[in-house]
Amino acid sequence: MQTLREELYSIVGEDRVTDNLLERILYSHDLAPIPPEVLTLFKTLPDAVVRPTNAKEIAELIKYARKKKIPVIPRGAASWAYGGATPVKGGIVLDLTGMNKIIEIDKQEMTVTVETGINWKKLLEELEKKNLFFPVYPTSAPSATVGGWICTGGLGIGSLKYGQLKENVVEIEVVTPTGEIVQVPNKPNYKLDWFFGSEGTLGIITKATLRIHPEPEVFSPHAICFNDTEQMCNAVSKILKDSTKIYFIKFTDEGYLDIRRSLGLFAPKAAACALFVFEGSKKTVRKDLEKFHSIIKKMDCSELDAEKSHEEWDERFHPMRIKRAGPTLLAGDVLVPVSKLYEFFERLWKLKEKFNLKMGIEGTVVSRDSTVVMPMFLSDERKRWKYLTAMPAIKEITDLALKIGGKPYGGFGIWNSFYLDKVYSNLEIRKMKERKKKLDPDNIMNPGKLYRVQTKFRVPLTAKTYNFFMFLLKILRRFD
């Protein structure tokens, strides 16, 4: 009888398959380490890892996996920390980062078509060489793939002006869970919308066509330091209300600046800092800046010089630079209304005191009325007890956001799936589950997540069980 490895060899060739234990261990987790105590619930070690090169190969693999009822887990750069690319009951991990070509740049239609394993930074750099520009990308652009971002969040740098990723995507190619290769939205009865946030559960996205723009004449970043955090929150609100189309705003609190300084990195002495970035033609940016400065000059704040502001703009790809101080970060990621930003800061500071942890807050404004806030607690996974008992702090961040009209950001995977009913209505969840069943009748595409977490013991991990364990850990923290 042929082994799994031999059967996969016959589909993609020997040099694209591995069942070597060491390599499989590397593919058994994403960016976030899972404590061994939790690991026992899942079979995160894949049975094999395959590095496909084209959609046809993937379609053959899917047909094979379907026949054998083997789970298939698509994986980009694994920079999403919710367990999306982590197997929960073994199976075949598909490493898509080898499918990273730019297929076509169409200057007539102003589109670029790419293989989805390409990372955002490489794509942006290639476009820049041709004086072209794709305006929205995640801050994880140096590693995150186009496919990974379609399947997860889709809000990031540039969203404030250009909207979500889905508003900037024209077409995608998908290998369906039955092994068909389809072009969406051209395929009847398929909607482009379904695949944004599908987390690898509805098929494998192999190509994407994105709408591009001529490179803007100017990028003008302005780093502002505030003596008071509430003032910074007010300034953000006011600029959003009064200013024209600003491209990007990010902000940090004093805790974040202090941690940076402790690492010998540049950080101004301030209660909070925000970076405001304008782009466009020289004329429009000049006008925008006049308005911007007329608002800012009435506030208790100071502006860094142009060189420092540009450095801050270059730092946009490294929101987790403070990790070194951990050396582990326990981070939350939540959507919070702009109007509640300061209240959220206050609640987070109390949470930090309660858990007696060092915390830095980083956030970006992603639309006229919402921000993505990422509070990061310094932790050390080697100190098992302390690390485990700090975990409820992450749950509390999400609970706090929900209390003030926010919600978890960036999808569900394993660790956010307990909040599915806080984000979607029962009707929406029913429709999502029906769609999954229809497209993937054998439940082979990234099973055991998003809709319902499955453990290797075939017992689901429910929100009740999760909440109970978090409660227990919180009690145990008192004995620390």
Ligand X SMILES: Cc1cc2nc3c(=O)[nH]c(=O)nc-3n(C[C@H](O)[C@H](O)[C@H](O)COP(=O)(O)OP(=O)(O)OC[C@H]3O[C@@H](n4cnc5c(N)ncnc54)[C@H](O)[C@@H]3O)c2cc1C
Which range binds ligand X by CB under 6 A, 67-75, 277-285, 335-343, 423-431?
A: 67-75
Vertex 328: Cα angle to 255 and 383 (nearest 5): 115
Contact with ligand X (CB under 6 A): which of 4, 26, 31, 325? 31
Instruction: Report, in Å, the least distance between residue 336 CB and ligand X.
Output: 15
Contact with ligand X (CB under 6 A): which of 410, 416, 418, 439? 410
Q: With binding defined as CB under 6 A, does residue 152 bind ligand X?
A: yes
Q: With binding defined as CB under 6 A, does residue 132 bind ligand X?
A: no
Contact with ligand X (CB under 6 A): which of 24, 30, 176, 250? 30
Contact with ligand X (CB under 6 A): which of 52, 90, 147, 408? 147
x/- mask, ligand X, residues 247-286, rule CB under 6 A, reads ----------------------------------------
Neighbouring C-beta atoms of residue 316, cutoff 10 Å: 18
Which range binds ligand X by CB under 6 A, 139-147, 179-187, 302-310, 386-394?
A: 139-147
Site for ligand X in 336-365 (CB under 6 A): none
Q: With binding defined as CB under 6 A, does residue 205 bind ligand X?
A: yes
Q: With binding defined as CB under 6 A, does residue 151 bind ligand X?
A: yes
Which range binds ligand X by CB under 6 A, 100-108, 134-142, 231-239, 468-476?
A: 134-142
Instruction: Report, in Å, the least distance between residue 284 CB and ligand X.
Output: 25
Which range binds ligand X by CB under 6 A, 150-158, 228-236, 243-251, 354-362?
A: 150-158
Q: Which is nearer to ligand X, 181 or 204 (CB)?
A: 204
Q: With binding defined as CB under 6 A, does residue 326 bind ligand X?
A: no
Q: With binding defined as CB under 6 A, does residue 389 bind ligand X?
A: no
Site for ligand X in 92-121 (CB under 6 A): 96, 116
Contact with ligand X (CB under 6 A): which of 47, 57, 199, 253? 199
Residues that bind ligand X (CB under 6 A): 30-31, 73-80, 84-85, 96, 116, 138-140, 144-145, 147-149, 151-153, 155-156, 199-200, 204-205, 319-320, 410, 446
